[in-house]
Amino acid sequence: MPTVFMNTGWMKAYRGLQNGRDPISHGGSWVRKHGSGGELLNFRPHAGYYYGFAHPGGKKLHLEALGASRKDDLVRGVTVVWIARRDGYGSVVVGWYKNATVYRSSRPRPDRRDATYFVLAPVGRSRLLPEDDRTFIIPRHKPGGMGQNHIWYADKPGRAALRNKVLRYIEAPKRVQAPKKPTRGGRFNLDPERRKRVEVAAVRFVGYHYEASDYKVRDVQDEHIGWDLEATKGRNRLLLEVKGLEGTEVVFDTTPNELRMSNEHKTDYRFCVVTHALSTRKELHVFSFSEGSGEWTDQNARDLRRNLIHAARMWL
């Protein structure tokens, strides 16, 4: 299966600017000049497909590097790995398309007249990583790295080592499965009270989510410092305040200490909200602070609004 790495700007959701809630950074000269671009919509679904864009450096992609002939206008069955620059890390994997169709020339998006795409991929075969999971570093230095290329054709000679390393990573992604009972020496102890059960289930689920992404997780609930868990991975240290909910509406209360800590540690603080906490349909919303918009937004660029009058209640 042919493989290509495509460089893009940094966003949370890649579904558009979302009224300023999901600004793009490191997006290149075009984005800086126009404030928009096709890559802003790389994970905005339409009719079951994603429509991906990356700047080719010219007007067309070099499909011959993907196994096509000079007469071919497209190549099917391509794995597209999306790369973006992350502050403090360098270039990292942010997501991928599998079984994608790559076109030589750009095409207009069917849902947006102001945007084009080079890549068409089924939603079910694609994945955008949450921001905290984007830690797989792609070397830029040569030999073996991407260099300064926006489009890196991974099947060319001399590129097998990096290509195979990335494919092993994306072909066997870790999945979070909430265990039926504690397996870490009783670190998460169950309680018979329903509210406590919701809280414990949520903390356990968040802990295993980050552990599945190779973070080391420490439970600090008993220290009452304004967050529940600390997750560390290399230089990255996250402060995780966990909120468990039985329903789907993201509504929760915060203590004055949690609000104070979230303001003091905006870069590292996360509100981790688990809906359906007592069911097998748990869903995790991770809200982090965006310097660009000044809002707390989740992986889908939905924002939290803060009301300090009603017991510091926060809601979507």
Mean pLDDT, to the nearest integer, of 131-155?
A: 88
| pLDDT score recorded for residue 207 | 95
3-class secondary structure, 25 = strand
CA distances from 147 to 101, 120, 139, 155 (A): 25, 26, 8, 15
Q: Are 250 and 281 in contact (CB under 8 A)?
A: no
| pLDDT score recorded for residue 314 | 53
- Across the chain, the runs of DSSP E, i.e. the strands, are 3-8, 49-52, 74-86, 90-108, 116-122, 126-128, 151-153, 216-219, 229-233, 236-244, 251-253, 269-275, 283-290, 295-297, 303-307, 313-315
User: Backbone phi, then psi, for 63, in 5-degree steps?
Assistant: -70, -20
* In the predicted structure, residue 191 carries a pLDDT above the cut 70: no
Mean pLDDT, to the nearest integer, of 243-270?
A: 89
Q: Are 246 and 198 in contact (CB under 8 A)?
A: yes
Q: How many CA atoms lie within 13 A of 10 on its CB side?
A: 19
Lowest-pLDDT choice from 162-166, 189-193, 241-245: 189-193
Q: What are the tokens at 208?
A: 């295993």
Residue 281 or 99, more confident? 99
Residue 4 or 35, more confident? 4
Lowest-pLDDT choice from 16-20, 94-98, 151-155, 181-185: 181-185
Q: What are the tokens at 101?
A: 């169709």
pLDDT tens digits, 41-94? 999 999 999 999 998 878 899 999 999 999 999 999 999 999 999 987 889 999
Separation between Cα atoms, residue 96 and residue 278, nearest integer Å: 31
* In the predicted structure, residue 275 carries a pLDDT above the cut 70: yes
| pLDDT score recorded for residue 34 | 66
pLDDT tens digits, 299-309? 777 777 543 33
Range list of H helices, the chain: 28-34, 160-171, 194-212, 256-264
| pLDDT score recorded for residue 68 | 95
Mean pLDDT, to the nearest integer, of 20-27?
A: 80
| pLDDT score recorded for residue 304 | 72
| pLDDT score recorded for residue 251 | 78
Closest listed residue to residue 151, CA positions, set 103, 196, 116, 198: 103
Q: What are the tokens at 157?
A: 């000679």
- Mean pLDDT rounded to a whole number for the chain: 85
| pLDDT score recorded for residue 174 | 57
Q: What are the tokens at 114?
A: 């102001």
| pLDDT score recorded for residue 272 | 94
Q: How many CA atoms lie within 13 A of 256 on its CB side?
A: 1
The single-letter DSSP state of residue 221 is: G
* In the predicted structure, residue 292 carries a pLDDT above the cut 90: no
pLDDT > 90: percent of the chain: 55
| pLDDT score recorded for residue 13 | 92
Q: What are the tokens at 170?
A: 């994306």
| pLDDT score recorded for residue 184 | 38
Indicate the pLDDT class of residue 213, thresholds 50, 70 and 90. Answer: confident
Domains and CATH numbers, the chain: 3-171 (no CATH), 194-315 (3.40.1350)
Mean pLDDT, to the nearest integer, of 10-32?
A: 80
Compute and round to an integer the Cα radius of gyration of the chain: 21
Lowest-pLDDT choice from 142-146, 181-185, 283-287: 181-185
pLDDT > 70: percent of the chain: 86
CA distances from 182 to 9, 69, 151, 205, 246 (A): 40, 55, 45, 11, 20
| pLDDT score recorded for residue 309 | 34
Indicate the pLDDT class of residue 36, thresholds 50, 70 and 90. Answer: low
